[in-house]
Chains A and B, each alone.
Chain A
């Protein structure tokens, strides 16, 4: 309760907490877009999502090490990770499309461990911190500070969301992806090469994750084990937002980021994750009650 009093004494802190939460939520949104795509189109829950984020982080780090501003890592990671995602599909993922959901979880879980360990061998387990050198801006005479890179991440999340909507609505491949997600068999009958669609979808997912990973590395840090929280968050976000609604994913992600940051402030950082899961349970139960009520009306 002391923490609550702190908020009353200095209401400006609320701004800081909410801003931090909203901006990290934007990064969660990116990984969640990808998870939603793969889940919706391939019917696969990709547990290796966080590892793709991690790989993107290393792209930024190696640019930084080469003396280039890691910000260029965002597009570069997207391109490189598209290739990685496409290859992963051709080697592993195509074998588990149309299989039981359990198989897909097992396979991608294996992938996540494999990628993690390969990254450890290749990049060493050291914690890395690529720096953009952009610094931060202070507001309210220094009471609130926001780093530029967090603002850039937020903008990137919005832009990526927009581009994704445009891509899915207007391009041939986007339309093919949507058709396949509605009914893969019908899409095949209509002459869509669903295998190619799947490879593209997984590639696009990896690209988005890669871009978000570059942002994560510049905002926080990167090591081979940072993936798990991003997998869990994106899974949660997609469960709450549902498949196929990009703006809902963005809104959920931002809501999640903000609420977990507030929880960490009020109850202490040790309850941050517990709060996230608690919230998930409450949402799922209340949604079930609402749905049950609707069904009663129908009957």
Chain B
């Protein structure tokens, strides 16, 4: 046994050495190319969104390079991104961030997917004073640590389903019901993102005086929500709110239909990247989805044109509709490009100061960072699946369609 262990350890160690030696050591610039670095989840449980993230970065880099690159001072630079696979594990992400900075000489880091990984990487970029712009770590506490080098272009996670509750209150009033009489059932994966979503909901529920009757936490390897949903069925809530990435969204849509659970408002996160409207047919009708961004919004910029044009370019390049995870990743690269130009230098400290002063409009929405580094200029949107398509129904200001309320149980 012990010799076997020894041999295995030796084999692993030599494999690790091989991998270690394989990577080159480019500097922050290679000739006239600025090198950005990113650890993204290409394998593991975040691999869907990890790929969205990478595609978003790649599209931005491609577009910027097509347009002649980024002008820093008098010289034009092309952009390039070095990627590593963080396997959806924070420890690996932290290791890879060290590696990007120390071995590959990267001086500008693009964010990983998910709050957990961003949380692991942020202390490293902070330690080496490397600007870190991310579009996929939405945890509120990322921006309460006093980090100076971390910037997030997206709305923080406590805003994801907050508006579903606000909207429920609005709709209740319109239908002559006191929002105080509304009951909430909710379930969350036990990860930092979803727990922030939960905190936001609790705040909103308190504001409107709504009662929370079911409050379950789902394990990450969840394959079945029957136990939680049995409870939901018994307490007959007015709102069902779920945050569990693609799997959670898919499961709740499938199982509330199969278990015939009739709830007026059902809202989840990640249902657009889970493609519920495309693949789940009638079961998905009337489900509300929280989203950072939508192609129908009236935002515009000089790189991609309108949000809709961005979506078209993306679809042409990658053959699937642009999810917001990709849009916010693209926006992160645009923030760097804009900051390089304004800083007129590739000195990380100067670039950092330029990023902090960002005030720009993109196809993804307005970007302006507060002193903690989060983008406070852009609101969240809520979709509803109507007729097999995602329609923006909230905030009412930009809503293309009116919400269908109450949601009717689909008949199979």
Q: Footprint of B on A, CB under 8 Å?
A: 3, 6, 9-10, 13, 16-17, 20, 24, 100, 102-103, 106, 116-117, 120, 124-129, 131, 133, 135-136, 138, 142, 145, 147, 216, 220-221, 223-226, 228-229, 261-262, 264-265, 268-270, 272-273
Would A268 and B216 be within 8 Å (CB), given that A106-B8, A129-B279, A273-B221 are in contact?
A: yes
CA distance A259 to B222 in the complex (A): 16
Inter-chain contact B258/A145, CB cutoff 8 Å: yes
29 residue pairs A–B, Cβ–Cβ below 8 Å: A3-B231, A6-B231, A9-B234, A10-B234, A20-B224, A20-B230, A106-B8, A117-B43, A126-B48, A127-B246, A127-B250, A129-B254, A136-B259, A147-B258, A220-B223, A221-B250, A224-B47, A225-B44, A226-B223, A264-B227, A265-B227, A265-B231, A269-B216, A269-B222, A270-B217, A270-B218, A272-B219, A272-B227, A273-B219
Known: A129-B279, A261-B226. 11 other contacts (CB 8 A): A16-B230, A20-B224, A116-B43, A117-B43, A127-B246, A136-B412, A220-B223, A220-B224, A221-B250, A221-B251, A270-B217
**B250 lies within 8 A of A100 (CB):** no
Report if B377 contacts A (CB, 8 A): no
B45 at interface (Cβ–Cβ under 8 A)? yes
Using CB atoms and an 8 Å cutoff, list the residues of chain B in contact with chain A: 1, 4-5, 8, 43-45, 47-48, 51, 187, 190, 216-219, 221-228, 230-231, 233-235, 246-247, 250-251, 254, 258-260, 274-275, 279-281, 412
**CA of A244 to CA of B227, assembled, Å:** 32
Decide: B223 and A221 in contact? CB cutoff 8 A: yes
10 A-B pairs with the lowest CB-CB distances in the bound complex, closest first: A264-B227, A270-B217, A125-B47, A135-B412, A20-B226, A265-B227, A125-B48, A127-B246, A127-B250, A147-B258
Contact A120 B43 (CB under 8 A): yes
| Closest Cβ neighbor of B47 among chain A residues | A125
Are B1 and A102 neighbours in the complex by a CB distance under 8 Å?
yes
**Docked CA distance A224–B228 (Å):** 24
Q: What are the residues of chain A within 8 A of B247 when measuring CB–CB?
A: 127, 221, 223
Q: Across the interface, which residues of A come within 8 angstroms of B4, CB to CB? A: 100, 102-103
Q: Are A136 and B260 within 8 A (Cβ)?
A: yes
A39 → chain B closest CB, angstroms: 19
Q: Is the CB of B223 within 8 A of A229?
A: yes
Q: How far is the CA of A103 from the CA of B281 in the complex (A)?
A: 46
B274 touches A127 (CB 8 A): yes
Cα-based distance from A27 to B88 in the complex (angstroms) = 28
Asked if A261 and B280 sit within 8 Å, CB to CB, the answer is no
**B250 contacts A20, CB within 8 Å?**
no
Distance, CA A226 to CA B222, complexed state (A): 9
| A138 contacts B217, C-beta separation under 8 Å | no
Residues of A near B48 (CB, < 8 A) are: 124-127
Supposing A127-B250, A129-B250, A135-B412 touch, asked if A228 and B221 sit within 8 A by C-beta, the answer is yes
A100 touches B1 (CB 8 A): yes
Task: From the candidates B47, B187, B217, B231, name the one contacting A120 in the complex (CB within 8 A).
Answer: B47
Whole-angstrom distance from the CB of B368 to the nearest CB of chain A?
34
Contact A125 B250 (CB under 8 A): no
Chain B residues within 8 Å of A147, by CB: 258
A269: which of B45, B217, B275, B280 is its contact (CB, 8 Å)?
Answer: B217
Task: Report the bound CA distance from A270 to B220 in whole Å.
Answer: 9
Q: Which of A6, A17, A125, A261 has the most CB of B within 10 A?
A: A125
- In contact, B279 and A128 (Cβ under 8 angstroms): yes
- Chain B residues within 8 Å of A106, by CB: 8
Query: Which residue from chain B places its CB closest to the CB of A261 in the assembled complex?
Result: B227
Chain B residues lying within 8 Å of A216, measured Cβ to Cβ, are 223
Q: A229-B221, A268-B217 are in contact. Are A221 and B254 (CB under 8 A)?
A: yes
Residues on A with beta carbons closer than 8 Å to the beta carbon of B222: 269
